[in-house]
Amino acid sequence: MDKIIKQRFDAYRKAGSLPEELAALDDVILFSDEKLLRKWRDQRKGLQWTDERGNTLAGSLDEALQTSSGEIVVLDYKTRGFPLRKTPDYYTLQMECYALLLQKKGFSTANYAFLLFYYPNSFTNEGTVKFNHQLITVAVSPAHAEETFRAAIGFLEGEKPPRNKECEFCYWKER
């Protein structure tokens, strides 16, 4: 799905227009530098930043928009089996991390990002799945992403992290 959605957005980028899912948005266009966007989308390299102590934060972007003032707006595609009821916090943190990575690369970013959810609506007689979409705006704080990144490093480097008996991942540090 991810690859097909990217191809679809790239076709709109080449045509200089927005897909219908984004038609209601004002003051944005699809990010025009396809070569740079391909680098940001790369699953192996993507966007990366290494802090002064050698700790690396990395991610690969789905899509970027650009405002008339030149700010980059992160857009991430999500697919699911049903409409979204509440935006999970981890999606917001993901968008914040992308904005932080872009800022560390010298780009100005908007204080918001978009999550575009696709979910199935119906089948045609030929077996084609028709999708609905839901566009969610989330406020982002790259400073919060950096604080979370540094807190995670502190946790991992700590002498003895707190153990949560309910957490299936807490054993990692002990090993």
Please count the other Cβ atoms lying within 10 Å of the Cβ belonging to residue 36: 13
Q: What is the pLDDT at residue 127?
A: 87
What would the pLDDT profile of 3-53 be if each residue is shown by its tens digit? 999 999 999 999 999 999 999 999 999 999 999 999 999 988 899 999 999
Q: In 3D, which of 103, 90, 48 has the Cα closest to residue 76?
A: 90
What would the pLDDT profile of 77-126 be if each residue is shown by its tens digit? 998 888 888 878 889 999 999 999 999 999 999 999 999 999 988 888 89
pTM (predicted TM-score): 0.87
CATH code of 170's domain? 3.90.320
The full DSSP string for 142-163 is HHHHHHHHHHHHHHHHSSS---
Residue 157: band (very low, low, confident or very high) from pLDDT cuts 50, 70, 90: confident
Q: How many domains is the chain partitioned into structurally?
A: 1
HSE-CB for 169 with a 13 A CA cutoff: 1
Full domain range(s) for residue 46: 2-174
Residue 69: band (very low, low, confident or very high) from pLDDT cuts 50, 70, 90: very high
